[in-house]
Amino acid sequence: MKSLKLDTNENTLLVGFPSNGLVGTFTISYLIHSLKMRQIGEIEVPDLPSTLFVENGEILAPIRVYNKKNIFVIISDVPFNQYMAENFALAIHEFCKKNTVKKIIIVSGMETTNKEKNASKIFGLTTHPILENTLYKNQISKFLDGSIFGTDAAIISVFRKTKIPALVLYAECHPFFPDPEASIIAIETLAKVLNVKVDILDIKNKIDKLRIQHRNLMEETIRTLQQQQERQERTPHIYR
């Protein structure tokens, strides 16, 4: 079989949304800020309740699209129930087809109660063998065992059936509180994968402020994750 090589100049999509520790939210938001990315659009998801955010007097949609050169970003400021997660995943796939995206990277949090301060580990999961080398090159441990549910699972389920490879980066984090420290290792790892320079000093200086600012979003995310997990536990498993 012919060996495939990953072209680092091809269009890449980054995806972030509220999950464990708000790792995806912190990581992707910080990358948008650090790389001075430009907002180029919004994503509509069927049945998503009407929600708008205001930041520095600017009205923002809950799901936005940003771009710089060959890097695209889709970020959601709202957590999704299972039904909306599936619609979100399909909307991401449509965006990839329209914009000739060749790979996507999802950033999320992996629940752990044993994490020591500043000792988060990061794990990677790929939908296609072509991205396995990305794990090895960047010294990312492979996610070997566990259950995945919610928005992560919805996106993975869609893309493992397509020709567009997906990489999921899971940073160990606290399950019940915003965890900016866990996001730092995710930011550093993502910067290496993308071969871009990102200064993490700003997020280090704002850790306590970020925790306070995002308490309400964390509470809403926990409720959504618990509902998703309860639904998963009601579903029969052949192997777990």
Architecture of the domain defined by 12-232: 3-Layer(aba) Sandwich (3.40)
Check residue 15 and give its pLDDT: 97
Contact 84, 151 (CB under 8 A): no
Using the predicted structure, report yes or no on whether residue 14 has a pLDDT greater than 50.
yes
Section 90-107 average pLDDT? 96
Using the predicted structure, report yes or no on whether residue 80 has a pLDDT greater than 50.
yes
Q: Is the pLDDT higher at 60 or at 50?
A: 60
Which of 3-17, 47-61, 92-106, 208-222 is predicted with the least confidence, judged by mean pLDDT?
208-222
Q: Closest Cα to residue 174, out of 218, 210, 208, 143? A: 218
Section 9-21 average pLDDT? 91
Q: Closest Cα to residue 192, out of 117, 139, 131? A: 139
> pLDDT tens digits for 136-193?
999 999 998 888 888 999 999 999 999 999 999 999 988 777 888 888 999 999 999 9
Using the predicted structure, report yes or no on whether residue 5 has a pLDDT greater than 50.
no
Using the predicted structure, report yes or no on whether residue 8 has a pLDDT greater than 80.
no
Cα separation, 237 vs 240, in Å, equals: 6
Check residue 6 and give its pLDDT: 46
Q: CA of 183: how far to CAs of 4, 79, 110, 211, in Å?
A: 31, 18, 11, 12
